[in-house]
Amino acid sequence: MVKLVRLIPVLVVILSVTSCIYSAFDKNNVIKEEHKYEKPVYDSAQSIIQPKYFLDTLNFYGQENNNEFHNRRKRLSESISIWVSEALRALEEMRIFTDTYKYESYRFTWLRTFHNPISIRVEEVNNDVILFLKQSNGMGGYDPGDLILNDTIAVTKGDWNLLKRKMDSLDFWNMSSIENTEIVAMDGSMWLLEGKRNEEYHLVYRQDGIMKETGEVCLFLLELSNLKIKKKNLH
């Protein structure tokens, strides 16, 4: 009888703790139920980058149309468009592919998973060449955050002409937007290089682009911006 009396407080504590755990579990379930993730829907009116440039028609039977595999690729391209557009919106950037955008312009958008999103845009305006450097305080693979750096830099005509020669040597306007590869990248950084010239617009997207064809041009734009990046973070 004495032993049973001694056990009663212990049982009470165990039951109380168990009750709290179940209560917290139920509460968490309610919270999860109330905050279900809603997949964003592509809206062309909100898009700063068009999804067609991310539609993979090169790799893994991507050439086949009107099948479930192709439809999944189309949905993926729309998701990437939404993601990049959200980052560019946080960087307070605009569309440059439209007919109303009249300047010759080149933009490097750099989205690293765990680092601040960065955009570098160089354009010729009324015979002056200006570089627009922007950085937000979020992460390229998560919430892009808010704009923390918005700098304007004058670019010399010599550097502007060098940039255009680099673009021409790439045959940029005829490059495939999507990389032909057998590697499926699950993480890393997005290197997006856009160009607008007269009525022409093109975008080239490379994953971990430092060693890719467009890497030299993107690094040249980074050099023109005077933004200091540690070598270990150049990826």
Percentage of the chain exceeding pLDDT 70: 75
Whole-number Å distance between alpha carbons of 228 and 118: 12
Is the CB of residue 224 less than 8 Å from the CB of residue 129?
no
**Nearest-5° angle of CA 81, CA 175, CA 101?**
55
Indicate the domain borders of the chain.
94-227
Alpha-helix residue ranges (DSSP H) falling in 61-194: 68-90, 157-170
With cut-offs at 50, 70 and 90, classify the pLDDT of residue 205: very high
pTM: predicted TM-score of the whole model, two decimal places? 0.78
Domain 94-227: assigned CATH number: 3.30.1560
Q: How far is CA 51 from the centre of its chain?
A: 13
Measured CA to CA, the distance from residue 123 to residue 170 in angstroms comes to: 19
Annotate 161-218 with three-state secondary structure: HHHHHHHHHHCHHHCCCCCCCCCCCCCCEEEEEEEEECCEEEEEEEECHHHCCCHHHH
Find the mean pLDDT for residues 35-56: 72
Give the tens place of pLDDT for each residue, 207-233.
988 889 999 999 999 999 999 999 999
